[in-house]
Each structure stands twice: as C-alpha cells, then as structure tokens.
Amino acid sequence: MVSVRERIARLKNERNAVILAHNYCLPEVQDIADHVGDSLGLSIIAAKCDADVIVFCGVTFMAESAKILNPKKKVLMPEPYATCPMASMCSAEQIIDARKKHKDACIVGYVNTTASAKAEMDICCTSSNAVNIVSSMKEKDVIFVPDVNLGAYVRSKTPSKNVILWNGYCPVHQAITAQNILDMRSEHPEAIVIAHPECRSDVLETADMVGSTEKMIEFVRTSDAKEFIVATETGMEHRLRNGSGEKIFHFIPHALCSVMKMTSLSSVLKALENMEHEVLLTAETAERAKTPLEKMIELK
Ligand code: 13P
Ligand code: SF4
C-alpha cells in the first residue's frame, strides 16, 4: 500500500508544490517539508519561491504573509482555522487610532498579525529582527504592536527610542513563569537557559540567551554546552534534536501551541489532493500589507 508520505511526495511533484513548515509543527510534518524554519526564514523562502503552489504548515498569519509576498502563487493552508491568538489582539482600526494619538510615532508590527493590521503598519518585524528594525527607524517614538513581551525586550535593547507598548501576548509563552525556570535550573544546574522573546520579562531575565526559534537552533548547534532548558513551544524539540548529537533538552511541559499542532500529514495530503484551502486576500489589503513586509525583508 502507498503510504501517506509517498502520496504527499507524488502529489507535490504533480502540482509543482513546495511545503513550508514552522519549527513548532508536529515532527512528522516537519519531516515531509521542503523547508522548516522561523517566521522570518519562511517569509524569505516564500517570497523567492518559484513553485506554483506553496503549502503552508503553520498558522494563518504566516500563510497570509507568503501570499502577500508572492501573490501569483497559490498558497494553501491544510488547516485554515489554525489562527495565532495574538494576531487577533490588534486590529487595523486600533492601529489607526493609535496613530492619531501618537502623531510623531511610527508603527512597527510583529508579523503575528492579520493582513489588514499589517496594511496599517510602517514596517513589520519578527522576533529575529525586531531590535534591528526598531533601531533603524528614524522616529524616536515607536509604537510596537501587538506583543507586549517582545516590545519590552526591544525597549530594553533600544534605549535611545521611546517604545510604546501594546497589550497583546502569546498565551503559550505567557504561561511560562520565572518560577518554572528556577525550578528547572535547580533540577538541572548544568543547563543553559535559552528563551524566546515572547516570554515575560522576568523569564527573559533568567535566560542565558534570548532569540527567535531559528536563532535558538543556531545557538545550540554552535554551543559547547551539553544541556539546555528551552523556554519556548515544545515543537522545537524535533529541530533541536536533529543535528545536535548527544545534547539534552528540557522543555516546560505546558508550553504547547495547539494551533501549531493542528496540521497533520493527512491534512497536508488533503490540501494537495483537493487544492484546498487557498489563502485569499483582497487586492487592496494584500497590496498595502506588502510594503511593510518587503521593507522588513530588505532590512532583514
Ligand atoms: P519565530 O519567529 O521565532 O519563528 O516565532 C514565531 C512564533 O509564533 C513564536 O511563537
Ligand atoms: Fe501564536 Fe504563541 Fe502559537 Fe506562536 S506559539 S503561533 S505566538 S500562540
């Protein structure tokens, strides 16, 4: 009998499709993907992709970004309801209001937002380039939307800026506490703590390294340390274990993003079989959201 993996591989060829998966996806989904990475890396790959079809395994804002950056491609989301809760914490209307309130400020927006919110931003950023992007803005006042924790982290690294924070957050990273880290440190005293900047400030203060999912992977691969406490979503374990030899990883067991776990091999297969669920955006929103995304990619 032909396995699901084989059927996916066959259809991928027939459709001239490429499969992109985020570092938090299920291991078996990462294993069939052509590229696995963080949100910045996947956006760059999507922008340059010359396949006819992009199957995006991740959450809605990522698939939308792929469509915005490469509008001629058909972008399919195997799980169209896999929506990052942070993306609903900042609307286009709220950004328009904030601009009226802070007339001298620019708007830097995390990519974990809807396409219509992006359309109102000056520039986008990801967790991997947020500090550089904010530093590069000519305005002193920067409204950073929507992640309060990433915004506070950026503020701590850009003292010459007045970073105005929003009140969004990632429920998964918000649920990681400094006490969780302290407890793990006392259990594993030799371990190095690496944390995603979506974690709360008191968690980041306990960390030896702070970075995006891809930066964490790079750090672990080049570090001499053997043991790590990883303050981010547990899906990272698969990427971290691949190519890290005998290194040992400790995760916070409740750090699990249910929307990132929705995409399965069978939903990828169905997406390719039925060419479903296509990401569709209005031409105006897509066009306006493209500028802040492209500016981000130019600056990286
Ligand atoms: P990265 O940009 O580090 O991949 O993170 C995306 C995300 O959603 C983290 O929760
Ligand atoms: Fe959104 Fe958090 Fe899940 Fe990332 S981990 S997709 S920010 S809910």
Name the nearest CA neighbour of 32 among 20, 45, 15, 50: 20
Distance 2 CA to ligand 1 centre (A): 34
The residue to mutate among 35, 127, 154, 230, having the most atoms of ligand 1 within 8 angstroms of its beta carbon, is 127
Contact 239, 31 (CB under 8 A): no
User: Quick one: pLDDT at residue 242?
Assistant: 87
User: Quick one: pLDDT at residue 243?
Assistant: 76
The residue to mutate among 24, 40, 79, 84, having the most atoms of ligand 2 within 8 angstroms of its beta carbon, is 84
Structure tokens at 133: 């992007």
Residue nearest to atom 2 of ligand 2 (CA): 170
Residue nearest to atom 5 of ligand 2 (CA): 257
Structure tokens at 267: 């939903």
User: Quick one: pLDDT at residue 11?
Assistant: 98
In the predicted model, residues of the chain with pLDDT beneath 50 are: none
Distance 136 CA to ligand 1 centre (A): 21
d(CA 224, CA 7): 41
* Rg (alpha carbons) of the chain, rounded to whole number: 19
Longest dimension (CA), the chain: 64
User: Quick one: pLDDT at residue 204?
Assistant: 98
Question: Which residues lie below 8 Å from residue 225, measured CB to CB, with a gap of 6+?
Answer: 190, 191, 192, 247
User: For the sheet containing 106-110, what is the strand order?
Assistant: 123-125, 106-110, 141-145, 162-165
Distance 172 CA to ligand 2 centre (A): 6
d(CA 78, CA 54): 11
User: Quick one: pLDDT at residue 57?
Assistant: 98
Structure tokens at 43: 């956006």
Contact 17, 53 (CB under 8 A): yes
Q: Is the peptide bond before 146 cis (omega within 30 degrees of 0)?
A: yes
User: Quick one: pLDDT at residue 231?
Assistant: 98
Contact 265, 31 (CB under 8 A): no
- State the number of CA atoms in the 13 A half-sphere of 179 facing the CB: 1
d(CA 226, CA 98): 46
Query: Length of the chain, please?
Result: 300
Residue nearest to atom 6 of ligand 2 (CA): 84
User: Quick one: pLDDT at residue 284?
Assistant: 97
